[in-house]
Structure 1
């Protein structure tokens, strides 16, 4: 695998410009350009998210689209990236890599603090060896214009006992989390801790989902930072497809998980 060194590629000279598409468009991209003394333009990099305001982070270097390694991607990186794309802010999550989407890793780490204007301004850009990228997930971001994510319990029959809901930009949806949530104590502990409890446990799936829109179809084992739920490999929304959707196997996988969340039973947890 060819190794790309991000520091050597992202060198800006005195004049630069940023072109951001409106957050309302379905394809979000940012293109930065440099100008040499002769006045010619050399496009340095472009950014986009797979689903406009959320999804796998893709970057274009030297006319090649690829992705950023998930190893060190965090909320500070997502915050800067989303602001560069014209949003108020954003948060990071790890997107499950169930299938190869054909793209190659181009950047090992951004190293942002969260205060920078663009990812180029991040002072700790790391070229690194992209062959060391985590092969189980992709770096992903969800941008927002008002607020990030938050959790709550609904239909509580007792304090700390109920169904899990999540909101982004104030939009509340059930948090389904098939294939992993039911047996993932780290994920449940984190949700309960954000609600002011110490820990939690899975109770059952007993109530049918009453709505069409849900926040996640798949949550894998949380082997990373136990204090951040979205550091667990996750598929945040039903149409998250970071791979070739033409594959019948991929379509079956996506259909099964979406169907389970949309027409199946929602998880009940107990926080204590």
Structure 2
């Protein structure tokens, strides 16, 4: 908020609120709501207190609030959410064009620097035991919408694809003819 990261107080925080947050981030919903700084104490201001969501809102900031200026919370009361669904998907179950959800829209990834290391991270994040191969748009149909990422540079050990360094593509150098895809092994991993 106002260009500064902060937290939300857990007063009256429940699954309705967590569902709004998870959907806003591109997940399908929330598995559970957390309280009392479950993921560790945050830093910065506590931006929201006494949030009142119905669960149907598209943004946490669309929810009502009992108070907007005063809060009685510290970071020992930080709210959280455990989301379900992923902000990444393949056009087929375990292979196909890669699509990522960023800025409220599904889009694609440009092929610059694309290799098996990125595929390993994605497959593991999606619950598959291995990555079989990577491919370019010429091996699958080009996507539509925005091209969100280029020059992704994973080590292969990241737990989350969005933890990998990347650049925002230049529209002159990345087109949907350069969209990437991958194929994961069909076996699921038990400790991803």
Give the structure-1-normalised TM-score. Answer: 0.36
Higher strand share: 1
TM (norm. structure 2) is 0.49
- Structure scoring higher RCO (CA < 8 A, sep ≥ 6) equals 2
